[in-house]
Amino acid sequence: MGDHARIGVVGATGAVGTVTLALLAERGFEDVRAFASERSAGSTVRFGDGELVVERATPDALGAGDVDLFFFSVGTSASRELVPAAAVSGAICVDKSSAYRLVDGYPLVVPEVNGARALDALERDRIVANPNCCSIPLTCVLKPLHDEAGLARVHVSTYQSVSGAGAQRMQALAGESSAEHDLTMDWAWEGDESDEEAKLRAETRKILELPDLPISATCVRVPVLVGHSEAIWVELEEPFSPAEATRLLREAPGVQVLELPEFPTPSAAAGIDEVLVGRIRRDTASSTGLAMYLSCDNLRKGAALNAIQIAELLLAGVAGSRA
Ligand SMILES: NC(=O)c1ccc[n+]([C@@H]2O[C@H](COP(=O)([O-])OP(=O)(O)OC[C@H]3O[C@@H](n4cnc5c(N)ncnc54)[C@H](OP(=O)(O)O)[C@@H]3O)[C@@H](O)[C@H]2O)c1
């Protein structure tokens, strides 16, 4: 199948959907349809050098059986309504909401970290969950460190751009004066944690298959348009030098290491595929600790690109099973 597959992008007018369409065009996918709610049905979205007319996403339209693979970036309640209808028709569904991420039996996949898990979906109902935009870059960096030295504990503080909250928030920031800019925590509270902090812990544990990993997060929204950053402190099972960690991360897929005087920034990460990691240093508060800092394009690797990489694994898996 590959780039001949019939693709549906649901949520095509949104922040993630727009990037999904751009990346699909870049990667040579040609048979692509755009879906959104009735609000934008009939409008057009850009696809490569041309345009697509947006179709209304209803359970009947998505369940018609004429699409091989859907990308969903529509929010959790819309995903709960639409994904099952599409999956019943036999289509592969890559869902970017939190509807399926933490439900047992649904793979939660970062291809560089646990790509083989994606193929589990082909044995079941063909639904794969795409992780949160902070869990993806975090696990890309933690996985090689865990494999080499064993993770004992993780602390993380995030600096998340407004595009993580959707296209409307991007427009709102663009219309704000710099005096109005602020740091916020605009998530729902679950006791004394935000749901974003709880998600980051639970998703990281699921992706790394470390259900008891101690991990504590503080998530913050910053007035940046695109690009999430994370300050990370890891404790390892045994002492591990910053030089060894740097060597390891240089070899890690999807990761690019920066060394001083360079350091990761959202603007350097925006528009590229790699997770930028730098400031790799000894954590002076822990005998087995390392500190580091990353930036990642939340709309690309944090969302659309990761989902397309999952899709490419699955389409290759389907083609392989038919060969
Ligand atoms: N932004 C990120 O960095 C990021 C990263 C990872 C995951 N995600 C997840 O991706 C999803 C979308 O995020 P976003 O940032 O792209 O949001 P967004 O900019 O607000 O876009 C939402 C999209 O969903 C469509 N939509 C909303 N309700 C719908 C419904 N009932 N039926 C069909 N389409 C519907 C909207 O279409 P209309 O034009 O018709 O309103 C729009 O295309 C969320 O689940 C989010 O958690 C986002």
pLDDT in tens, 51-105: 999 999 999 999 999 999 999 999 999 999 999 999 999 999 999 999 999 999 9
DSSP secondary structure, 254-299, as one string: TEEE--TT----HHHHTT-SSEEEEEEEE-TT-TTEEEEEEEE-TT
* Amino acid (one-letter) located at 185: M
Length of the chain: 323
Nearest atom in ligand 1 to 17's CA:
16
287 CA to centre of ligand 1 in angstroms:
43
Q: Whose CA is nearest to atom 22 of ligand 1?
A: 14
* Cα dist from 279 to 29, 205, 267, 268, whole Å: 38, 24, 17, 15
pLDDT in tens, 108-136: 999 999 999 999 988 889 999 999 999 99
| Nearest by Cα to 306 from 135, 92, 121, 90 | 135
Whether residue 139 contacts residue 234, with contact meaning beta carbons closer than 8 Å, is answered with no
What per-residue string of b and e applies to 156-189 under the rule 16 or more CB within 10 Å gives b?
bebbbbbbbbbeebbeebeeeeeeeeeeeeebee
Q: Whose CA is nearest to atom 2 of ligand 1?
A: 164
Angle between helices 15-26 and 305-322 in degrees, nearest 10: 50
Q: Is the pLDDT of residue 323 over 60?
A: no
Is the pTM of the predicted complex or chain greater than 0.85? yes
Q: Whose CA is nearest to atom 37 of ligand 1?
A: 36
For the CA atoms of 32, 120, 113, 209, what is the dihedral angle to 10 degrees?
140
Question: Does ligand 1 lie within 6 Å of residue 62's CB atom?
Answer: no
- Catalytic residue list: 133, 228
User: In a mutational test of the pocket of ligand 1, which residue from 39, 58, 73 has the highest number of ligand atoms less than 8 Å from its CB?
Assistant: 73
Q: Taking residues 3-11, what's their average pLDDT?
A: 93
Question: Does ligand 1 lie within 6 Å of residue 78's CB atom?
Answer: yes
Nearest atom in ligand 1 to 11's CA:
43
